[in-house]
Amino acid sequence: MDNIYFIGFMGTGKTTISKLIADHLNMKWTDLDDMIQQKEKKTVVEIFRENGEEYFRNLEKEVLKDVAGKGGYVVSTGGGIVIVDENVKIMKESGLIITLVASPDVIYVRLKDDQSRPLLQVPNPLDEIKRLMYERAPFYIKGDIIIDTSFDEPEIIVGEILKEIEKRKNGKGTC
């Protein structure tokens, strides 16, 4: 089986949901941010602070290419991976893209105390969430499946995703 990529804004549940999907489908799971941190031996916050966002995005593309070449993975991506067109192309060519979405207010509540989110270390994080979500919306809608995670429990969301994946396997959906 090809890879399954989870994209979406930070705080939409990509890590939680992708791990559960990997378990259900008996696939390997990985998180691109974890791979980057292992490669650089620094946190994402340190990479952003010391080297900038462009450097981070280049690392992200490198690890994505590595995973795309392997297959059989469920991949949790960073929220900004979609801003690089080549990344979306790599994911489309090597698997299924599942976009997780949630309302800005829900994301704010989920992330308000999380200091590991470099793009939210600003005076008004809710406004920044709204701005970034608006900016990235044209990229996030490129997912093959789009699921709102605002209010349902992870098990319900996983069930919805598994149904959508099954539809695609049986030729009832498009990839």
- 21 residue type, one letter: I
Query: How far is Cα of residue 7 from the mean position of the Cα atoms in its chain?
Result: 3
Any known ligand binding at 57?
Answer: yes
Inter-residue contact 131 to 104 (CB < 8 Å): no
Residue 163 CB neighbour total at 10 angstroms: 11
d(CA 116, CA 118): 6
Any known ligand binding at 49?
Answer: no
Any known ligand binding at 80?
Answer: no
Strands 145-148 and 73-76: unpaired
Any known ligand binding at 39?
Answer: no
Any known ligand binding at 14?
Answer: yes
Any known ligand binding at 8?
Answer: no
Q: From 21, 46, 23, select the one nearest 36 (Cα to Cα).
A: 46
Any known ligand binding at 69?
Answer: no
DSSP calls for 96-128:
EEEEEE--HHHHHHHHTT-TT-GGG-SS-HHHH
Inter-residue contact 79 to 9 (CB < 8 Å): yes
Inter-residue contact 73 to 67 (CB < 8 Å): yes
Any known ligand binding at 136?
Answer: yes
Any known ligand binding at 79?
Answer: yes
- Residues that constitute the known binding site for substrate: 33, 57, 79, 136
- Residues that constitute the known binding site for ATP: 11-16, 117
- Residues that constitute the known binding site: 11-16, 33, 57, 79, 117, 136
- Residues that constitute the known binding site for Mg(2+): 15
